[in-house]
Amino acid sequence: MWPPVGYNGPMSQKIEAIIFDCFGVVITDALSLLHRELAERDEAAASELRDVIRAANRGIISSDESRQRVAELLDITKTEYRQRMDSSERTDWKLLDYIGKLRVDYKTAMLSNITQSGLQRRFPDDKLLDYFDEVVISSEIGYVKPEPEAYLITAERLGVAPESCVFLDDREGYCDGARDVGMQAIRYDSFDQATTELERLLTA
């Protein structure tokens, strides 16, 4: 499969597709906030929480099982955990509106390390299809970012070569994973910063 892992050659092809992360980009990353709070008082528990989330994202354990275990690690009830998440998460509708406008000229996708039920709870009734041509989630494909397969599957589903894609994520390590398969990548810090950098690429 082209390009090989570690590819860092020239990006000569025209940009045809733009791929966005979910948490930390489209939605605030409430779980990362909870993880940081836990790490401050119990690093071992925080490490176990990461393992539980990875297993859920890969589809190895169910969403209900992961929620129960995360709640236990945080020493709160499942109801309290859901309330904490719901109160902390915010959807960036301004960004989604911008993505919808990009679809006039480009293919768009969401690539996220998330479970199917987690995505459905946040975006019921296939709402994301108003903004994205493809929604690729780790629990469905069995690969998580920054594994190369996650990016390559997304490009394949969009029907474009990896080097024709731009990927936006709030984590530099996940951006590096995209670059390793030939994509261009932008670390997402804010709407204004990321869209300015993206527009610069699109008009180059």
Q: 17-27+90-202: what CATH class? A: alpha beta
Residue 36, pLDDT score: 80
Distance, in Å, from the CA atom of 69 to the CA atom of 199, rounded to the nearest integer, reads 42
User: Is the model's pTM score more than 0.85?
Assistant: no
Residue 1, pLDDT score: 40
The domain segmentation of the chain, as residue ranges, is 17-27+90-202, 30-88
Residue 86, pLDDT score: 77
Burial class (CB in 10 A: 0-12, 13-18, 19+), 104: exposed
Residue 109, pLDDT score: 98
Distances (CA, A) of 169 to 27, 99, 160: 11, 14, 19
Residue 125, pLDDT score: 77
Mind listing the pLDDT tens digit for each residue in 11-57? 457 999 999 999 999 998 777 777 788 888 889 988 988 898 888 87
Q: Which residues of the chain have pLDDT under 70?
A: 1-12
- What stretches of 75-147 show up as alpha helix (H) in DSSP? 78-88, 93-102, 116-122, 138-141
